[in-house]
Amino acid sequence: MATFYDTHKNAGVLSAAIPAISIMIIVDTIGIIANSLVIMITIFAMSLRSTTNYLLAMQCFFDSIHVLAHYYLAYVLYSGKNFDTLPTCFFIMAVPLTGLSIGMSLIFFTAVDRLFAVLLPSKHQKLNKVLYLGSILAICMGYNVYILYIGYLNAKQHKDTMVICLIIEGLHGTPSTVWSAIATGLVFTAVFIYIIIGICIHRKFNSNVNTRKLYKSLFILCILMTFSWVLSCVNGILSSVFNLSEELAFFIPLYVGITINVACGSNFFILTRYSKEYRIAAKDFFERIGIQGVFKPASKTFPWM
């Protein structure tokens, strides 16, 4: 029986993939611009100087690095090239994979940071921010180096394997499974932490407002990412249980992956919608560059904003 590669290596453009990659490119372009706005707002706004604000800015940066992978994928699919060797794909995706791994790690550490701020507010306020954030980034970098290392060894061992170069295909095989298991654990643990934070906020509803800052925004962002990963996991399980064809095993994750791109590009929109702090900072930033009336005063406020 002919393999997916045998069937499509000289078939030209995979027409069924074009709508998905086109949507991804549109979403990713908007997302990169929006994430850049979060970074710039954080730099200019004196009110956004907490460790959580900095972690969010770093996450926006690495999310933007992550989605750069899809511009190469677009070239591959639009041109009809379709396939690369696994080593070629790995090296092309090394930088986007760095963005993906560190971005996922920062989701977890942002949740931990908020829990720290809620449970031990006085100690959290006295932190050496440079040392604290530097340590978090060092841990994330160490994890990323491990993932890239096992990906490199795998690509070297399977140098003749041909893949369509989605970002995760740079880790084709066992490294992909390892990465997915760790990423899923990080995201679901983050959700659990936010649930704990929500309980703490409910019990201390009239306490210092600092314990409630950004909670709703961060929880929504985390749920969006979790939802996208649940879809990906369900897809993987169904593919195994029903022994889906190689075509479906490629096309279904391609379309499901759009939800992850939406989650990566939603930071600015969620933060400015649900966080009064970010909304005011964004309004001031746009006025600074001569753009008036971007954000109207909120008609309703919430205790967690």
In a domain, 156, yes or no: yes
pTM above 0.85, yes or no: yes
Across the range 75-98, mean pLDDT stands at: 94
Q: Domain for residue 196, yes or no?
A: yes
User: Does the residue 17 lie in any domain?
Assistant: yes
Helix (H, G, I), strand (E, B) or coil at 162: strand
User: Is there a domain that residue 4 lies in?
Assistant: no
Structural domain of residue 116, as residue ranges? 9-288
Q: Which of 232-236, 268-272, 284-288 has the lowest average pLDDT?
A: 232-236
Q: Which pLDDT belongs to residue 296? A: 63
pLDDT digits (tens, 9 = 90+) for 170-191: 998 889 888 888 888 898 899 8
- Looking at residue 198, what is its pLDDT? 85
- Identify whether 81 is part of a domain: yes
Q: Residue 39: what residue type?
A: I
pLDDT tens track for 33-50: 999 999 999 999 988 888
| CATH number of 175's domain | 1.20.1070.10
Q: Which residues contact 217 (CB under 8 A, 6 or more apart)?
A: 270, 271, 273, 274, 275, 278
Work out the pLDDT band at 297, boundaries 50, 70, 90: low
Residue 303 has pLDDT above 60, yes or no: no
Q: Kindly state the helix (H) or strand (E) to which residue 84 belongs, with its residue range.
A: strand 84-85
Q: Assess whether pLDDT exceeds 50 at residue 9.
A: yes
d(Cα 71, Cα 265) in Å, to the nearest integer? 15
Q: How many domains does the chain have?
A: 1
pLDDT tens-digit profile of 114-170?
Answer: 888 888 888 888 889 999 999 999 999 999 999 999 999 999 999 999 989 999 889
Q: Which residue has the higher pLDDT, 228 or 56?
A: 56
Name the residue with higher pLDDT: 198 or 64.
64
**For residue 297, is it within any domain?**
no
Q: Give the model confidence (pLDDT) of 197-226 as tens digits.
A: 888 877 765 455 545 667 778 888 888 888
Asked whether residue 293 is assigned to any structural domain, the reply reads no
* Residue pointed to by tokens 């978090």: 136
Residue 183: predicted pLDDT = 87
Is 122 part of any domain?
A: yes
